[in-house]
């Protein structure tokens, strides 16, 4: 089996990512899967080269060694860096276009927000532009989401039932500036890289049915999924790179040992009562497998 560690390049990695690495490498061990590393820098407005360099430094410093994929920021171009593979995403999009499964949408976020019921958790697109025949270039490209529920068995959370067409409607594959979205680039890559086990945080659980629908539309077998718990901060919100959580790069530069960082991630996740320093290998055996 093949799983992947696929960080977005929206900031420096933080303690939540250390927990994620423990799950990826630990659950991979349990399933005898190899770990592929991929750089998800589809969001060109936020990606920065120093974030990419920091990903590889952090992995090496903490002792997480990928079996496949990209292992250095010097690999240019790489099949495992999304910004190097626009031609591939374009060819998949053209296939969907030939099959009439995508359309151009001219609605702004504000216009969509105005049509939402009070208290809606997520913007749900009602399909205003679905039959307008707008060109894909210069418009948001939307996928015609099938009106059906998707059921899957999560390896951690059990049976899940999601209805994307009611949660988000026809979701986007590319924005009006031509940037590929996470949902689309991630599925294209998981297919091309032969990923059959996806291990990721439970904050992305809602994306899974959308991705499964794309896999099925592209006639690829969807991977198995394992969604793990996250680290929440004192206010109960998840740690996020964008909220300027303390980065691993800062911790490393402050002289702290990698084992101490792993110990801290385990305690903050509630997996260990203390933040006793441990190596990645010890942590995986004691807390994840």
Interaction site with ligand GLU (CB under 6 A): 6-8, 40, 186, 200, 204
CA 236 from centroid of its chain's CA atoms: 21
Smallest gap from Cβ 135 to ligand GLU, in A, equals 29
| Nearest CA-CA partner of 278 in 260, 265, 251, 252 | 260
Residue 125 in contact with residue 173, Cβ under 8 Å? no
Report the alpha-carbon distance of residue 34 to residue 28 in Å, rounded.
Answer: 6
Smallest gap from Cβ 102 to ligand GLU, in A, equals 21
Smallest gap from Cβ 100 to ligand GLU, in A, equals 27
Report the alpha-carbon distance of residue 41 to residue 15 in Å, rounded.
Answer: 20
Smallest gap from Cβ 43 to ligand GLU, in A, equals 9
Give one DSSP letter per residue of 134-150, joined into a string.
--STTSEEEE---SS-E
Smallest gap from Cβ 61 to ligand GLU, in A, equals 19
| Nearest CA-CA partner of 156 in 8, 2, 24, 54 | 24
Report the alpha-carbon distance of residue 165 to residue 144 in Å, rounded.
Answer: 9
| Nearest CA-CA partner of 132 in 166, 103, 96 | 103
Which CA distances in Å does 50 have to 16, 66, 84, 182?
A: 19, 20, 17, 21
Give the residue with the Cβ less far from ligand GLU, 29 or 106.
29
Give the residue with the Cβ less far from ligand GLU, 16 or 169.
16
| CB atoms closer than 10 angstroms to residue 261 | 20
Give the residue with the Cβ less far from ligand GLU, 7 or 169.
7
Give the residue with the Cβ less far from ligand GLU, 103 or 226.
226
Classify 226 as helix, strand or coil.
strand
Give the residue with the Cβ less far from ligand GLU, 8 or 128.
8
Give the residue with the Cβ less far from ligand GLU, 7 or 69.
7
Smallest gap from Cβ 98 to ligand GLU, in A, equals 27
Residues 6+ apart with CB under 8 A from 235: none
Give the residue with the Cβ less far from ligand GLU, 186 or 214.
186
Smallest gap from Cβ 269 to ligand GLU, in A, equals 17
């Amino acid at each position: 089996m093949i799983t992947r560690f696929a960080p977005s390049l929206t900031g420096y990695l933080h303690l939540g990512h250390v927990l994620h690495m423990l799950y990826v490498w630990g659950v991979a061990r349990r399933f005898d899967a190899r770990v592929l590393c991929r750089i998800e820098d589809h969001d060109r407005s936020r990606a920065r080269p120093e974030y990419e360099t920091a990903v590889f430094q952090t992995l090496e410093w903490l002792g997480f060694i990928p079996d496949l994929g990209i292992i250095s920021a010097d690999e240019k171009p790489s099949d495992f860096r999304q910004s190097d593979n626009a031609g591939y995403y374009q060819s998949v999009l053209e296939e969907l276009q030939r099959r009439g499964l995508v359309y151009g949408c001219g609605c702004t976020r504000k216009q969509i927000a105005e049509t939402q019921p009070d208290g809606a958790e997520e913007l749900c697109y009602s399909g205003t532009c679905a039959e307008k025949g707008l060109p894909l270039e210069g418009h948001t490209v939307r996928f015609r989401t099938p009106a059906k529920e998707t059921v899957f068995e999560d390896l951690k959370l059990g049976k899940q039932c999601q209805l994307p067409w009611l949660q988000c409607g026809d979701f986007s594959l590319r924005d009006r500036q031509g940037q590929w979205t996470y949902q689309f680039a991630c599925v294209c890559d998981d297919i091309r890289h032969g990923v059959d086990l996806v291990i990721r945080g439970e904050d992305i659980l809602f994306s899974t049915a959308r991705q499964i629908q794309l896999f099925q539309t592209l006639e690829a077998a969807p991977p198995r999924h394992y969604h793990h718990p996250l680290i929440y901060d004192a206010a109960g919100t998840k740690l996020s790179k964008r909220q300027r959580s303390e980065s691993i790069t800062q911790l490393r530069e402050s002289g702290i040992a990698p084992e101490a960082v792993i110990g801290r991630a385990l305690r903050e996740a509630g997996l260990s009562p203390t933040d006793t320093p441990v190596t990645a290998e010890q942590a995986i055996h004691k807390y994840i497998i």
